[in-house]
Amino acid sequence: MIPCANPKAQYLAHKQEIDDAVRRVLESGWYILGDEVRAFEEEFAVYLGVSHSVGVGSGTEALHLALVACGIGHGDEVVTVSHTAVATVAAIELAGAKPVFVDIDPVTYAMDPELLKKGITSKTKAVIPVHLYGHPAPMEDIHTIAREYGLCIIEDCAQAHGATYRGKRVGSFGDMACFSFYPTKNLGALGDGGAVVTSDPELAEKARLLREYGWAERYVSHIPGWNSRLDEVQAAILRVKLKHLDFDNSNRIKLAELYSEGLFETDIALPMVQKGAVHVYHLYVIRVKERGSLQAYLRSKDIGAMVHYPMPVHLQPAYEKNAVSLPNSEIAAREVLSLPMYPELTESQVQFVIDSIKEHHS
């Protein structure tokens, strides 16, 4: 079986380092918000080119805390995309705000800046661009529009660890940015985890207070907060994996190039990379009209192709009250298919996937 993602293979690739890191934590006797979390936060901030990183419990909680830290709450609107993981939208509602959906660029799957303008009202307080599948959103255009309207920018970087746009890493463009360390991510823990990053010291301090009951000192809450803490074991694992992230991303890019070369002459729509962007291929996503047939055929060959995502958020029962027409998002949801993609995938496995797709199309 060739799975779509394979976090166990990543563990095995760095097994000794990870086992040593976990043992170090277990033997330390300190398991929550200790030296490993502080060290990872510092190392991750340096990697991204920002001043502060705050480890939290998940990517969803990172978005929630960032919104609250930016003062977003009841009565406010937040513009984002519908072709995304539902976590992006769930976090907006957790903060008490209303999500406002705009359509995507049909080629990059990122927010269309021109449509962002149309989603802004007098109640709009923030915009959440999503760097989907590992491709950066057009942050310079989004930044210009957001500043024109006085909006807070919170980047959703859950699928784009290490991606760059015009020489800067994603996560360094907005007022705040949020990462998920779910095990299948480019930088994945062996459990849940997330981070809020920023170069604004006041926002960083607010995020630190919010993640642990509003405590500046133990048992004294200065503001209302929650319990959303990255634990020491996951931080230690992430420190190991962060050292290998650029190498692993380079492997993803090489594998993506193999896919693109092998499928170039088919009628399948392949991923395109915007000028000035470095795509890190959290997912290698093709578009094909007969998706169900192709996915079933690949499954019969023990190839785990998946759909990210089969239904835009605005059409899902929990969110359909936000009635809007988003044709590009709706078409993409009917046609996208994620092929196997992880750094440990072999070239021969990629070739087998390519050959199988061509067999189906012959």
112 and 29 in one domain? Answer: yes
Do 224 and 306 lie in one domain? The reply is no
pLDDT, tens digit, 9 for 90 and up, residues 225-250: 999 999 999 999 999 999 999 999 99
291 touches 274 (CB < 8 A): no
Reading the block at residue 243, the tokens are: 């050292």
Q: Is residue 333 part of a domain?
A: yes
Tokens of 44: 């991750």
Over 90: is that where the pLDDT of 323 sits? no
Are residue 209 and residue 127 in the same domain, yes or no? yes
CATH at 199? 3.40.640.10
The domain containing residue 316 runs over which residues?
245-361
What do you get for the CA distance between the two ends of the chain, in Å?
A: 23
- Of 288, 258, 283, 260, the closest CA to residue 272 belongs to 260
- Tell whether the model's pLDDT for residue 322 goes beyond 80: no
- In this structure, the answer to whether residues 230 and 253 fall within a common structural domain is no
For every residue of 177-244, DSSP letters joined together read EEEE--TTSSS--SS--EEEEES-HHHHHHHHHHHBTTEEETTEESS---B---BHHHHHHHHHHHHH
pLDDT average, residue stretch 322-331: 91
CB 133 within 8 A of CB 159: yes
213 and 303 part of one domain: no
Question: 277 pLDDT band (50/70/90 cuts)?
Answer: very high
Residue 292 lies in a domain: yes
Q: Please check whether residue 1 lies inside any domain of the structure.
A: no
Boundary of a domain, candidates 180, 211, 239: 239
Question: Would you place residue 352 in the very low, low, confident or very high pLDDT band (cuts 50, 70, 90)?
Answer: very high
Average pLDDT rounded to a whole number, residues 255-267: 97
* pLDDT score recorded for residue 282: 98
Residue where one domain finishes, among candidates 198, 224, 239: 239
Contact 150, 29 (CB under 8 A): no
Identity of the amino acid at 273: V
Average pLDDT of the chain is: 97
Domains contained in the chain, number: 2
Whether 269 and 148 map to the same domain: the answer is no
Query: Whole-angstrom Cα distance, residue 35 to residue 169?
Result: 26
Answer yes or no: is 2 within a domain.
Answer: no
Which of 239, 274, 308 corresponds to the end of one domain? 239
Residue type, 274: Q
Same domain, 149 and 218: yes
d(CA 74, CA 90): 14
Same-domain check for residues 39 and 141: yes
* CA max distance for the chain: 68
Residue 349 φ then ψ, to 5°: -65, -40
| pLDDT single digits (tens) 109-163 | 999 999 999 999 999 999 999 999 999 999 999 999 999 999 999 999 999 999 9
Strand, helix or coil for residue 82: coil
- Same domain for 143 and 185? yes
320 pLDDT band, cuts 50/70/90, is confident
- Residue 325, domain CATH: 3.90.1150.10
Residue 168 DSSP code: E
User: Within a domain: residue 338?
Assistant: yes
**Against a cut of 0.95, is the pTM above it?**
yes
pLDDT of amino acid 321: 78
Convert the pLDDT of each residue in 179-211 to its tens digit: 999 999 999 999 999 999 999 999 999 999 999
Phi, psi (deg, nearest 5) at residue 278: -115, 110
Confidence class of residue 47 from pLDDT cuts 50, 70 and 90? Answer: very high
**Do 133 and 37 have their domain in common?**
yes
Q: Are residues 249 and 235 in the same domain?
A: no
Round to whole Å and give the CA distance between 260 and 211.
42
Do residues 25 and 78 both lie within one domain?
Answer: yes
Q: Which of 69, 94, 104 is nearest to 209 (CA)?
A: 69
| pLDDT at position 250 | 98
Q: Is the pLDDT of residue 362 over 90?
A: no
